[in-house]
């Protein structure tokens, strides 16, 4: 049997080599990107080459390939190429395609989250300081990235104490008639109602930008001089303001790096037991913006420098590179990576591997963090696998589950209804698979909402995202709804389990409902019970958060937002005049025309908007 299987693998490998050789007949000797495709034309592997023909020829010499790429060749049925002008252009295109298509045999950066930044807006005369995550399309100055939202929030809080810049939305700012709580606690200078002149406010904005750009010592020194002058002039109230500003700024100033890595990412990789961890420290303006770990997938058997190169290439395809990237080991194609990143940034950058000095000490510190993170990963992974094994035993499953999906709904009396799904695997929560479903047709009907969510989730599934178990926050009735949906969609081999709170709705007394089984409970100290409670609570947290976000969006929206030619100033004038959007909708044309900034044509436009259907 083993010999037969080996013979079959050799046949597949020969078939893959023949496919590649056939494409070599017309392969150009130019730079570009190649894609190895499977039988269903799904992407197996994406690579770049200075010479496409030479690179693809190397895949026919399978004895020189690692086992991972030998398997890739054996599954190759098609080859596609994209010719580029330069090799660095091919590298950037390769990174984008890997990020988009996630080929099965590429080393992948699994964590594709966006890091938060601090944004000081430039879109109007009264700049605001806000947390920003995502594409940097808004006008303003960005500072970061920060490793976590908590780090951004803490920094913004300190900067508000120091510079008292507004953080409110434009809608709130435009409609303020009296200062908000931020002014009362001395975190805003209340520009919305003219408590500070525009000239003075611009000074505060400039100082905040300079501080975040790394000129902290200069700003603190200038503020100390102002404090002394105010004290000499017996203006103790103003001196106290400057004193508080200095104290706030020193909270951030104390995190300055001794290595003088003013604008750098420090990256180190550690490999143990077939697993790799890449740890990164962010430094901007001379300050630490936090750190985080990454665990590339499909990297087993690859060398550290190859894995690190794949990480650098993919990470900076989605994040703006800093002026300096400091590594613990050199990359195989470091000059090419350097050239490609400079092309993307349109600025000079450095990629260095320090061998002595403060930067070397900093790299060693990052490497220690990578080792510790990898050790925790091994411990967590072992525990997670043990729990999955116990889940299989508890529910008498013929297999050990590799993916569990948990579903929960959230609403208040049928309003802002949202259904949510979280996923967990043998390595923990799979946050990239989290999904939310805005309930469309069954609001107020709990069973109907469950049916809608499951129908939308399982109408189109693939083998890569099919769960072994679905866990439902509900009772026997919810379970029956899910089983009906599975029957209608002809879905088999997925175990559905409902978990309800049980007697007195106390944690620890949960009841479990399964198909063709009696309802049962678990001992209070059972590790499987605790594991499933944690999964359910994570789904509940995600559902509540999604519901609140939807509700807040509805709270802050107004029918006036959708009327053409009604901007913030006219909206503010209308609300001040009539008191509410409902009163505006009930007003006549003459009443609307009496509002400052509203002429006869706009008044008719507003009136027609609210009365066009009557």
Asked whether residue 6 carries a pLDDT value surpassing 50, the answer given is: no
CATH class of 263-376: alpha beta
Model confidence band, residue 58 (pLDDT cutoffs 50, 70, 90)? very high
551: pLDDT strictly greater than 60: no
Residue 259: band (very low, low, confident or very high) from pLDDT cuts 50, 70, 90: very low
Q: What is the CATH number of domain 2-101?
A: 3.40.1440.10
Q: What is the CATH number of domain 559-611?
A: 1.10.150.20
Q: Which of 44-53, 89-98, 565-574 has the highest mean pLDDT?
A: 44-53
pLDDT of res. 181: 85
Q: Hey, which CATH number is domain 403-554, 3.40.50.1970, 3.30.420.340, 1.10.1420.10, 3.90.550.10?
A: 3.30.420.340
**Distance from C-alpha of 147 to C-alpha of 165, rounded to nearest angstrom:** 23
- Predicted pLDDT of residue 257: 55
Predicted local distance difference test score (pLDDT) of residue 76: 92
What the block records as the tokens of 408 is 């929960």
DSSP H stretches of helix in 395-520 = 446-458, 476-488
Per-residue pLDDT band at 550 (split at 50, 70, 90) = low
In whole angstroms, give the CA distance from residue 408 to residue 428: 19
Give the C-alpha distances (Å, rounded to integers) separating 579 from 314, 438, 588, 601: 52, 32, 15, 22
- Locate 103 and state its tokens: 């080929």
- 77-94 CB burial, b ≥16 within 10 A, e <16: eebebeebeebbbbbbbb
Give the pLDDT confidence score for residue 527 in this predicted structure: 83
In whole angstroms, what is the distance from residue 18 CA to residue 609 CA? Answer: 67
**553 pLDDT tier (thresholds 50, 70, 90):** low
User: Which residue pairs, CB below 8 angstroms and at least 24 apart, start in 584-593?
Assistant: 584/560, 584/610, 585/559, 585/610
Q: What pLDDT sits at residue 7?
A: 43
Whether 362 has a pLDDT exceeding 70, the answer reads yes
Predicted confidence (pLDDT) per residue in 398-446, tens digit: 889 999 999 987 755 445 577 889 999 888 888 888 988 887 766 567 8
Q: Residue 416: its pLDDT value, please? A: 59
* Mean pLDDT of the residues in the chain: 82
| Whole-number pLDDT of residue 157 | 83
Half-sphere exposure of 123 (CA within 13 A, CB side): 10
What number is the average pLDDT over the span 311-339? 88
pLDDT at 1 over 50: no
CB-CB contact of 287 with 158 (8 Å): no
CA-to-CA distance for 93 and 10, rounded, in angstroms?
A: 33
Classified as helix, coil or strand, 107 is coil
With a pLDDT cut of 90, the percent of the chain lying above it is 18
What count of other Cβ atoms lies within 10 Å of the Cβ of residue 19?
19
Q: What is the phi-psi region of residue 102: left when phi exceeds 0, alpha when psi lies from -120 to 50, beta otherwise?
A: left
Handedness of CA 39, 43, 44, 50 (dihedral sign): positive
- pLDDT-based confidence at 503, cuts 50/70/90? low
pLDDT of residue 3: 46
Q: How far apart are CA 342 and CA 392, in angstroms?
A: 51
Per-residue pLDDT at 225: 81
Confidence of residue 530 (pLDDT cuts 50, 70, 90): confident
Please check whether the two domains, 2-101 and 403-554, share a CATH topology: no
Domain ranges for the chain: 2-101, 117-253, 263-376, 403-554, 559-611
| Terminal C-alpha separation, the chain | 79
Residue corresponding to tokens 């299989």: 392
Q: Which of 115-124, 308-317, 342-351, 573-582 has the lowest mean pLDDT?
A: 573-582
DSSP 370: H
pLDDT of residue 34: 93
Identify the band that residue 479 occupies on the pLDDT scale cut at 50, 70 and 90. Answer: very high
pLDDT at 308: 92
């Amino acid at each position: 049997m083993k010999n037969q299987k080996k013979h079959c693998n050799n046949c597949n490998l020969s078939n893959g080599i023949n496919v590649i050789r056939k494409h070599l007949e017309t392969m150009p000797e130019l730079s570009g990107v190649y894609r190895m495709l499977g039988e269903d034309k799904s992407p197996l592997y994406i690579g770049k080459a200075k010479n496409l023909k030479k690179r693809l020829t190397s895949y026919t010499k399978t004895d020189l390939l690692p086992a991972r790429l030998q398997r890739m060749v054996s599954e190759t049925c098609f080859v596609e190429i994209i010719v580029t002008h330069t090799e660095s252009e091919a590298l950037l295109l390769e990174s984008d395609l890997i990020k988009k298509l996630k080929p099965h045999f590429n080393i992948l950066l699994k964590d594709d989250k966006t890091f938060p930044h601090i944004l000081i807006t430039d879109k109007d005369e009264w700049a605001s300081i806000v947390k920003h995550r995502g594409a940097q399309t808004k006008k303003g100055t960005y500072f970061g990235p920060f490793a976590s939202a908590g780090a951004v929030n803490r920094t913004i809080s300190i900067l508000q104490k120091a510079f008292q810049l507004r953080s409110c939305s434009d809608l709130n700012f435009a409609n303020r008639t009296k200062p908000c709580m931020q002014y009362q606690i001395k975190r805003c200078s209340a520009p919305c109602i003219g408590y500070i002149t525009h000239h003075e406010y611009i000074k505060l904005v400039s100082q905040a930008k300079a501080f975040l750009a790394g000129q902290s010592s200069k700003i603190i020194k200038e503020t100390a001089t102002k404090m002394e002058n105010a004290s000499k002039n017996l203006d103790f109230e103003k001196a106290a303001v400057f004193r508080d500003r200095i104290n706030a700024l020193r909270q951030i100033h104390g995190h300055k790096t001794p290595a003088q890595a003013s604008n750098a990412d420090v990256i180190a990789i550690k490999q143990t037991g077939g697993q790799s961890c890449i740890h990164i420290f962010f430094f901007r303006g001379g300050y630490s913006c936090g750190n985080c770990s990454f665990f590339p997938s499909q990297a087993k058997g690859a060398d550290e420098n190859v894995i690190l190169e794949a990480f650098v290439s993919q990470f900076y395809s989605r994040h703006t590179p800093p002026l300096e990237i400091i590594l613990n080991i050199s990359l195989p194609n470091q000059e090419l990576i350097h050239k490609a990143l400079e092309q993307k940034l349109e600025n000079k950058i450095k990629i260095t591997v320090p061998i002595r000095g403060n930067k070397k000490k900093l790299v060693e510190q990052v490497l220690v963090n990578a080792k510790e993170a990898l050790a925790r990963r091994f411990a967590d992974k072992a525990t997670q696998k043990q729990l999955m094994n116990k889940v299989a035993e508890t529910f008498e499953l013929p297999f050990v589950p590799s993916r569990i999906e948990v579903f929960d709904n959230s609403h208040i009396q049928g309003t802002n209804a949202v259904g949510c799904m979280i996923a967990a695997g043998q390595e923990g929560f799979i946050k990239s698979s989290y999904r939310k479903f805005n309930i469309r047709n069954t609001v107020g009907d709990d069973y109907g909402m469950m049916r809608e969510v499951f129908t939308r989730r399982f109408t189109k599934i693939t083998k890569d995202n099919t769960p072994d178990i679905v866990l439902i926050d509900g009772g026997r009735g919810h379970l029956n709804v899910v089983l009906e949906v599975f029957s209608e969609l002809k879905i088999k081999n997925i175990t559905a389990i409902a978990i309800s709170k049980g007697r007195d709705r106390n944690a620890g007394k949960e009841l479990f409902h399964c198909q063709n089984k009696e309802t049962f409970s678990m001992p209070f100290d059972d590790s499987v019970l605790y594991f499933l409670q944690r999964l359910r609570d994570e789904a509940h947290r995600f559902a509540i958060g999604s519901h609140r976000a939807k509700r807040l969006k509805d709270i802050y929206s107004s029918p006036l937002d959708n009327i053409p030619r009604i901007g913030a100033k006219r909206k503010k004038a209308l609300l001040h005049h009539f008191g509410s959007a409902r009163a505006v909708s009930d007003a006549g044309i003459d009443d609307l025309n009496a509002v400052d900034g509203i002429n006869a044509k706009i008044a008719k436009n507003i009136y027609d908007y609210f009365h066009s259907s009557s």
